[in-house]
Structure 1
Amino acid sequence: MTHAHITSWLIAIILFLITVSLQRSGSSKAKMVQMVLRLFYILTIITGVLLLHSIASISILYVMKALAGLWVIGAMEMVLAAMKKGKSSTVAWVQWVVALVLAIFLGLMLPLGIDLF
């Protein structure tokens, strides 16, 4: 299940960056790619919930990782919404980077990740 989760969020990040570039160029395909991106949000959340469910003793770090992951998805949607409306997306981009770094750090630090220290 870990591999499915990593694959789904990695594809989601790639699709997010593709959607951003398509929206910037004004392509009509941006909406279609964004719908596929939302499908990968759902896959990422489902695999994350299944991973969380498979852990015998859930610590607060796992809950923080789950919340950081949801924050990443929310920030992605904020970036895309701000870009679509033609508003400044700087705050949303900063949130996305902070949430992504936090989620990846927590994911690597937890026992299902790799040993950082």
Structure 2
Amino acid sequence: MDFLTGSTHLHITTWVVALILFFVAAFASKSKGIHMVLRLFYILVIITGGALFIEAMDYGQGMQYGIKFLLGIIVIGMMEMVLVRQAKNKPTTIFWVIFAISLFAVLFMGFKLQMGINFLA
């Protein structure tokens, strides 16, 4: 399973595609098919993230990577809550806020931790 943990590129690709699909589904009028494909990408993000989480134990920062993993699950949960509640014509404001805050936190942690990309170097 080295292809999952050789670098973070596969994981980054899956969550970028998932975010694009989420915004398309959130702002499209009929998005049932897109929502189903997005659910597949949720699974791919979790699998690649889980593999990287296991690999991160070698860095001795398991708790920080664990918090990042939980934040990632919260992001996926809020994405799903927004789409499902929009389909039922219920208010989604609080879920958008939680989504934005948790997405910012998980991206910050992901790029800051040792397996992340250092943009300033």
TM over 0.5: yes
Counterpart for residue 106 of structure 2: 103
- RMSD of the alignment, in Å? 1.4
- Match of 1:36, as an amino acid? V
Q: Would you say the 8 A contact 1:52–1:58 is kept in 2? A: no
Q: State the identity %.
A: 44
Supply the distance in 2 between the matched residues of 1:39 and 1:116 (Cα, whole angstroms).
Answer: 30
Q: Calculate the TM-score normalised by the size of structure 2.
A: 0.87
**Aligned partner (choices 38, 58, 63) of residue 60 of structure 1:** 63
Supply the distance in 2 between the matched residues of 1:43 and 1:68 (Cα, whole angstroms).
Answer: 16
Supply the distance in 2 between the matched residues of 1:114 and 1:34 (Cα, whole angstroms).
Answer: 29
Q: Calculate the TM-score normalised by the size of structure 1.
A: 0.90
Q: Could you list the runs of 5+ residues in structure 2 that have no partner in the other structure? A: none
| Structure 1 runs, 4 residues or longer, greater than 4 Å off | none
Supply the distance in 2 between the matched residues of 1:8 and 1:38 (Cα, whole angstroms).
Answer: 12
Q: Could you list the runs of 5+ residues in structure 1 that have no partner in the other structure? A: none
Say yes or no: does 1:39 pair with 2:40.
yes
- Match of 2:76, as an amino acid? I
Deviation at 1:59, TM superposition (A): 2.5
Q: Would you say the 8 A contact 1:109–1:116 is kept in 2? A: no
- How many residues get paired? 112
